Amino acid sequence: MPGTRLANKVAIITGATGGIGEATARRFLQEGAGVMLVGRSAEKLAATAERLADFSATATFVADVTDEEAAAAAVAATIDRFGGVDILIANAGTEGRTAPIERQTVANFEECLRTNVIGVWLWMKHCVAPMQQRGGGSMIALSSIAGVVGPREMAPYNASKHAVNGLVKTAANELATTGIRVNAIGPGPIDNRMIRSLEEQILPDDPDGIRVMVMAGIAMNRYGTNEEVANLALFLASDESSYCTGGIHMIDGGLTAA
């Protein structure tokens, strides 16, 4: 049966065509939210919307998250379609290319920082006023275990996710008295496209071998799922988390607890 945990709330989800983005959209729709799906590819957005066709409260907007004009236009379109904005899931991100620090490129560093940091800040920036008009809201940035530890050969990605955590803490402090809560989710290895990309980059000849090694370091001895991340996002988006702000909420099977 449909739930009501997000009844009458409106969410914007960037990176909606990815595994976590789509799973979060589905979970939010199941709980009564209206959802604006944002992605760079019109084709992928259409396919995602088709898979969510059982729900009527969806809309799509094609935007590169690093484009400020597009961010502002997407927020405006959300207000026009649904009447306001209550929730931001700043999910769009890139894993970049793996390499030792001395072999990293400026282009790779810049791409990671623009997408993963500026692409989060811009959408926060343009959601502040609409959320204040609704009396508050919830902003959730997708960070990573790489925001609290430093896996080798991932300097650009690690730096970007540490920056996201700092951004979240600053925004939480600035916006707390306005009723806007700001949190980060820090996934560990999640069984989706991004982790497969990293496995293939780290050990092209035996990506499954990397998976075995990674799982050996996870207390629960498995990868997480997109749906498990979506469930955490639901809690942080809902009024159930009314006293949660400025937190980095890990979902990593115990990997960073070791």
Q: Tell me how far apart the alpha carbons of residues 13 and 25 are, in angstroms, rounded to a whole number.
A: 7
pLDDT for res 195? 81
| pLDDT string in tens for the chain (258-residue length) | 579 999 999 999 999 999 999 999 999 999 999 999 999 999 999 999 999 999 999 999 999 999 999 999 999 999 999 999 999 999 999 989 999 999 999 999 999 999 999 999 999 999 999 999 999 999 999 999 999 999 999 999 999 999 999 999 999 999 999 999 999 999 999 998 888 887 788 778 888 888 888 889 999 999 999 999 999 999 999 999 999 999 999 999 999 997
pLDDT for res 57? 95
pLDDT for res 189? 94
Q: In 10 A of CB 89, how many CB atoms? A: 29
Taken in order of first residue, the domains within the chain and their CATH numbers are 10-190+225-257 (3.40.50.720)
Q: Which residues are catalytic?
A: 157
Which residue in 32, 17, 36 sits closest to 234, CA to CA? Answer: 32
Look up tokens 């282009």; give the residue: 107
> 168 by DSSP, 3-state: which?
helix
DSSP label of 128: H
**Beta strands 10-13 and 34-39, pairing class:** parallel
